[in-house]
Structure 1
């Protein structure tokens, strides 16, 4: 009985650890950098309770640290558009697309990505 319980606990621990690792692999991704140049496309929607909320949908060229380009498509759930000319670091995952973004300072954008962003604008 003891061996059975030890085995069961071991399987559960390994299963939970495996799920955490899988979540990190799936939700992790590559960093791309964009500069906000538009107000985005405003979308107003309703949730299940009838409350309205606003999204701004963006499609912007993004560049990784090597200057390689990929179109970044994402939405910002905000009452107003993202700040124009702001630099964003976007996490892009091959399975999920854009999984997150955060504003960064221009000095934090890798040199090759920064050069490409300046060419576009």
Structure 2
């Protein structure tokens, strides 16, 4: 979860094969202040998530999946700001040195 500037607010790690929507319950409970809108990709396109967001008075900015029978209206201008979240994840991938604990001590081989 990130703020409007793309700075991380909360992180919830899941296994690699888990779908995005499985982390929704853990992430929505984490921020100290409730967000005004949730910008998410199609992985969060579930009726249960949309209902929960409506009960919390949070605007759902989530496009509908192509196989959905009813079209979902969402703020496309606001959705374009989701690139800041993608940039945040890109930075995490650039910083994988920290996440995977590489050993960069000169002359030290991990396999010795």
Query: After TM superposition, is the score higher than 0.5?
Result: no
> Which protein shows a greater Rg?
1
Range into which the TM-score falls when normalised by the shorter chain? under 0.3
Q: Which structure has more helix as a fraction of its residues?
A: 2
Q: TM-score, normalised by structure 2?
A: 0.21
Q: Which structure has more strand as a fraction of its residues?
A: 1
Q: TM-score, normalised by structure 1?
A: 0.20
